Amino acid sequence: MKGLFTVVAYRLFHPKIVALAVIYLVVGALLAVYHLDHGAPLINRLSEPALLSRLYFYDTHFFMRIGLLMLGAIMTYKIQQEDALDIPLVMRVGRIRLALLRTLCPTVVLLGVMGLSLLINLHVYAFAPFSEGFVIHHGIVLVYGVYVVYYTALFDLVMNRFKTLYHGMMVVLIALLGDVLMDFDTPVHAMRVPLRMLLTFFPVSVASPEGFQLSVSPLIPGMLAIAYMSLSTLVFTRKRL
Amino acid sequence: MRPLRIEPFSFSYDGHDRLTYPPLCFEPGLNILKGANGSGKTTYLKALAGLLGERVHQKESLYMSEKPSFPSYMRVKDYLMALESASPSTKGEANELLERFGLHAKREARIESLSKGMRQKLALIETLNEARPLYLLDEPFNGIDKAFMPLALEAVSALKGIVIVTLHEAVDFKGPLREVYL
């Protein structure tokens, strides 16, 4: 297994990926500062909770989504470019362990990005650990992290497996499911909390003093995308060799 | 070691003509797989390696691609170390092979800095460093200069097990080998 981890480390600490992580860190910090400068005062001026959450959502999440979309795309592209190791590794460790490796890479990226985002949030917002605000932003960080995996998986599918109608349909379905579930007004958000907890595997609906509600329903498409990525790697690695 | 007998089978890629293979027998030692262009030699080797399904997959086989590709950003020694530690059947002779193939000075170099011939040698090294009952080498000497060919041929023919090789050009090899026709 040491060899596999060497490969993972090499893939993750590829200079271009490190550069992207730094870019993400800078962009994330700028976004956070922008939010402090522009978003917070705007939110403070508004009192209606629904509008508040919607503005919050579009103010921060929109930029983060676009940024993470691009980051996930480029990162996945760079990781997938290194498929030169496919044949040697399949010959040595087998297809299943290679699939695990493929899944491990974006997962480690996810954890790394989550950690970075958490640091940014902790530093910029200076939340006290375990305060309500900390929990909310910790949750947001988690959602961002899932976005990374989700979009990484999505672009993995688009870039490498968009070769047949079947795969194309899966990409569209996952994307649609993801975006529908991420929308604040979908039926998922209207469900009762226990059901949402069941669906998302996470205690949702953390209310802030301003009435902002955090939804973590992106966990569903994230998990679906990861599951599909793993399965498709298992099944379709063969065709790409 | 017993000869390897492969039953007849056929294979077709999407949208391509079906390739039909006769029954073939490979003896322990060096076997040169021959056939006309387009007869499906590469496909045959990939099928045996299990890269095209499990039908004729020979477990424990090792396939060397005709166009070996590498993680260009890795250093030579790290790449070989990664493969060694990932493989349960490594001989652990990467350093000796690097020395023998004249690549020892490139241990610390990134693979992207290697010439085509050096990369081919690296692919040979990673293959020779494995102890397998069946080796499937697709054009393993592509890009290797003639002066180095005798050493490369000797190293490949010294592999213990059944070695099946496809060749683009005829090679001058004095040792025992068997030609098998598709």
Which amino acid is located at B62 in the chain?
Answer: L
- Residue A196: the pLDDT is 38
* Residue of A48 and A233 predicted with greater confidence: A233
For every residue of A173-212, DSSP letters joined together read: HHHHHHHHHHSTTSHHHHS-HHHHHHHHTS---EE-TT--
Q: In whole angstroms, how large is the CA radius of gyration of chain A?
A: 19
Question: At A189, is the pLDDT very low, low, confident or very high (cuts 50, 70, 90)?
Answer: very low
* Residue of B23 and A191 predicted with greater confidence: B23
Task: Give residues 65 to 94 of A whose Cβ lies within 8 Å of B.
Answer: 82-85, 87-93
- Residue B109: the pLDDT is 94
Question: At A147, is the pLDDT very low, low, confident or very high (cuts 50, 70, 90)?
Answer: low
- Residue A215: the pLDDT is 41
Pairwise CB contact (< 8 Å): A241 & B46: yes
Is A240 near chain B, with CB under 8 Å? no
Is A8 near chain B, with CB under 8 Å? no
Residue found by looking up tokens 């070695």 in the block: B163
For every residue of A137-187, DSSP letters joined together read: HHHHHHHHHHHHHHHHHHHHHHHHHTTSHHHHHHHHHHHHHHHHHHSTTSH
CB-count burial class (<10 Å; 0-12, 13-18, 19+) for A194: exposed
> Is this prediction's pTM over 0.95?
no
> Please, what's the b/e burial string for B74-83 (b: 16 or more CB within 10 A of its CB; e: otherwise)?
bbbbbbbbbb
- Residue A82: the pLDDT is 47
Domain B4-69+116-121+130-181 has CATH 3.40.50.10860: no
Say what percent of chain A tops pLDDT 90.
0
Q: Which residues contact A51 (CB under 8 A, 6 or more apart)?
A: none
Which regions of chain B are under pLDDT 50? none
When pLDDT is averaged across residues A119-139 and rounded to a whole number, the result is 49
Residue-range domain boundaries for chain B: 4-69+116-121+130-181
- Residue B12: the pLDDT is 81
ipTM value greater than 0.90: no
Distances (CA, A) of A171 to A75, A156, B128, B132, B167: 18, 10, 41, 40, 42
- How far away is chain B from the Cα of A14, in angstroms, using its nearest Cα? 8
Q: Would you put residue A211 in left (φ > 0), alpha (ψ -120 to 50) or beta?
A: left
When pLDDT is averaged across residues A98-114 and rounded to a whole number, the result is 59
- Residue B72: the pLDDT is 77
- How far away is chain B from the Cα of A96, in angstroms, using its nearest Cα? 13
Question: At A181, is the pLDDT very low, low, confident or very high (cuts 50, 70, 90)?
Answer: very low
Q: Which residues contact A95 (CB under 8 A, 6 or more apart)?
A: A234, A237, A238
- Residue A15: the pLDDT is 61
* Residue of A119 and A80 predicted with greater confidence: A119
The overall average pLDDT reported for chain A is 50
- Residue B55: the pLDDT is 83
Q: Which residues contact B7 (CB under 8 A, 6 or more apart)?
A: B23, B56
Pairwise CB contact (< 8 Å): A92 & B87: yes
Count other C-beta atoms under 10 Å from residue B16's C-beta: 10
- Residue A12: the pLDDT is 54
- Residue A11: the pLDDT is 57
Q: What angle do CA B129, B135, B141 make, to 5 degrees?
A: 80
